[in-house]
Amino acid sequence: MIILCIYLVTIFGNLSTIVLIRISSQLHHPMYFFLSHLALADIGYSSSVTPNMLVNFFVEKNTISYLGCGFQLGAAAFFGGSESLILAAMAYDRFVAICNPLLYSAKMSTQVCAQLLLVAYGGGFLNAFSFIICVFSLVFCGPNVVNHFFCDFAPLLELSCSDTSIPAVVPSFSAGSIIVVSAIVIAVSYIYILITIMRMHSTEGRHKAFSTCTSHLTTVTLFYGTVTFI
């Protein structure tokens, strides 16, 4: 019941965010545009794992099909990779808004935002594709019990009786590249943001700049904190 309540709050909270941004003309800005897609990716990321896990709590025998396992892993890889890159795009948006406010409209035009979003979803797709291809290239001929609450890649490698040297490297490189690139973009953006804020003479201006970054920094900390923990 606790996990079900957390999941429902996650879904309805993100759906409310998307609807509010769509219907409110005051929120039609790049930051909220990315926030709505971050909420969408979060819905997909949560839904790729949680519903099946909740079903398994109420049945005696926990099972998932071969195709279902691959789909679950692919969905988690797609939405997880996309969410990471969207967080990087949001950090770049905050960098432009604070460090180059006069050029913000030009540098964060509708076309630029669409291109950044396309890169984010494209990176998520390539990440998911690498995971799915490698999983379906594995041969399973022994135990079929996944030692996890969902079809994660590492437990599946342990079940394979084929050579896992190449299948283990490709998804790790794909996911690792997304995490490293996103982390670098976020870190560099906030270094420049911090330098710009420290140069501000107005206390009110500093407070306003910090307030626009606090929620994003909290999300980044939670996202990368849990990824690191896992």
Q: What is the biggest distance separating any 2 CA atoms in the chain, rounded to whole angstroms?
A: 67
What is the rounded CA–CA span in Å between residue 128 and residue 210? 35
**Residues 131-158: what's their mean pLDDT?**
88
How do residues 93-114 score in pLDDT, each as one tens digit? 999 988 888 888 888 999 999 9
Tell me which residue range forms the domain holding 132.
65-229
Is 89 a domain residue? yes
Average pLDDT, the chain: 89
Q: What is the model's pLDDT at position 88? A: 95
Is 1 a domain residue? no
CA distances to 164, 167, 169 from 160, rounded to whole Å, are 8, 11, 15
Beta-carbon contacts of 203 under 8 Å, excluding residues fewer than 6 positions away, are none
**Residues 26-34: what's their mean pLDDT?**
88
What is the rounded CA–CA span in Å between residue 131 and residue 69? 11
With CA atoms as reference, report the closest residue to 223 among 65, 75, 46.
46
Amino acid type, 188: V
Lowest mean pLDDT segment, chosen from 11-15, 129-133, 181-185, 194-198: 194-198
Is 53 a domain residue? no
Beta-carbon contacts of 173 under 8 Å, excluding residues fewer than 6 positions away, are 130
How do residues 162-187 score in pLDDT, each as one tens digit? 888 888 899 999 999 999 999 999 99
With CA atoms as reference, report the closest residue to 178 among 111, 89, 73.
89
What is the reported pTM?
A: 0.90
Q: What is the model's pLDDT at position 218? A: 86
Which residue did the predictor score with more confidence, 218 or 6?
6
| Look-up of token digits 């409310």 | 16
Is 146 a domain residue? yes
How do residues 184-224 score in pLDDT, each as one tens digit? 999 999 999 888 888 877 777 777 777 778 888 888 888 88
**Residues 77-89: what's their mean pLDDT?**
95
pLDDT over 80 (residue 43): yes
Is 119 a domain residue? yes
Cβ neighbour number for residue 219 with a 10 Å cutoff: 16
In angstroms, how far is CA 71 from the centroid of its own chain?
Answer: 17
Q: pLDDT band for position 21 (50/70/90)?
A: very high
Q: Considering its fold, how many domains does the chain have in total?
A: 1
What is the rounded CA–CA span in Å between residue 181 and residue 158? 28
Is 191 a domain residue? yes
What is the rounded CA–CA span in Å between residue 200 and residue 206? 6
